[in-house]
Amino acid sequence: MTGTYSVPAEAAGQRLDAWLVRQIEGISRVRVQLLLSQDKVRLDGKSARPSLRLRGGETVEVLGNPAPPPLKAFPEDIPLQVVYEDDDLSVIDKPAGMMVHAGAGAADQGTLVNALLHRYEALSGAGGELRPGIVHRLDKQTSGLIIVARNDPAHARLAAMFSGRQIRKTYLALVHGEMKHPAGTINAPIARDLQRRTRMTTRRESGARHAVSHYTVQRRIRSRFGAFTLVSVRIETGRTHQIRVHLASLGHPVVGDTLYGAPARITEPVTGGKSAPQPETLALDRNFLHAAELEFAHPTTGKPLHFQVPLPGELDQFLRGLEQPAA
């Protein structure tokens, strides 16, 4: 974004930022003010304030693109479902829709980290300013249990426990289709999908990382909407989208997970020809994936800890709707 503009006489008295917005196609006033604050605009060769009043006849140079302000964590008064807390750690039941922390392409408001900073004021610093206290994470649309470190020694020990696979994590997932085997292990390395960068894949060897998931069928559902399977999944490794991409690789995407092939809406098959009533549909605006259980030893005392939380209301309600007989 570079260019040179001449200020006409009729622009006299206008604010510099407001005038520039009208000269640069597709730019907002906020971005113009960002350009000015980052010294990327020159008025007759000198720096200028956004509020400067033009006289007419000046030369304005735009020297580049505005750099986005750095993301940061800050305290926000957001309700939290605290399952356990002591001086070393907390266990939180995170709702779907909440980002764990800000990141590329994600806003820095409404995050779990911000809510934690409001509650505790200080967390472990090992994760840096953007991710204080965060030892592991859950996807935005995954609900359930997450461990948070409240000081640096606890963070270091928890990180070592995750690395040494000493923390047992179990998820509940509802998938499309009927899984044939009552239990199984998916041992498939995961890499970034080079065609769609927001996805992961098990089909690429270069750069792939070891990933292991163990699943057990909890319930097979033959509904008027088709076949589904409720499974529990225990993961040995914690790769990005691991459970979602592993289950999709078997041809059983997680319900609601359109990124990995699940339909946005589930429609009842049409029977009876043109005179048949409009088919019923179900939709879920999140993934049916829930971190239901955690087992680990306390990082300081060594005391065994075991936490379990039920499915959140929206998932329980979806299951009921799926299994409800036709009217």
Give the residue from 217, 225, 213, 235 showing the smallest Cα distance to 180.
217
**CA neighbours closer than 13 Å in the CB half-sphere of residue 259:** 20
CA 69, CA 60: separation in Å to the nearest integer?
Answer: 23
Report the alpha-carbon angle 199-200-202, nearest 5.
140
Choosing from 88, 139, 285, 316, the catalytic residue is 139
Per DSSP bridges, beta strands 143-149 and 289-297 are parallel
Which uninterrupted H or E stretch holds 187?
strand 183-187
Q: Is 152 a catalytic residue?
A: no
CA 203, CA 227: separation in Å to the nearest integer?
Answer: 26
Chain position carrying tokens 């299951």: 319
Note whether 115 and 148 are within 8 A (CB). no
**DSSP per position, 48-105:** --TTPBP-SS-EEEEESPPPPPPP----------EEEE-SSEEEEEEPTT--SS--TT
CA 81, CA 157: separation in Å to the nearest integer?
Answer: 24
Neighbouring residues of 221: CB distance < 8 A, sequence distance ≥ 6: 227, 228, 229, 230, 322, 323
What is the longest distance spanned by two Cα atoms in the chain?
79
- Which are the catalytic amino acids? 139
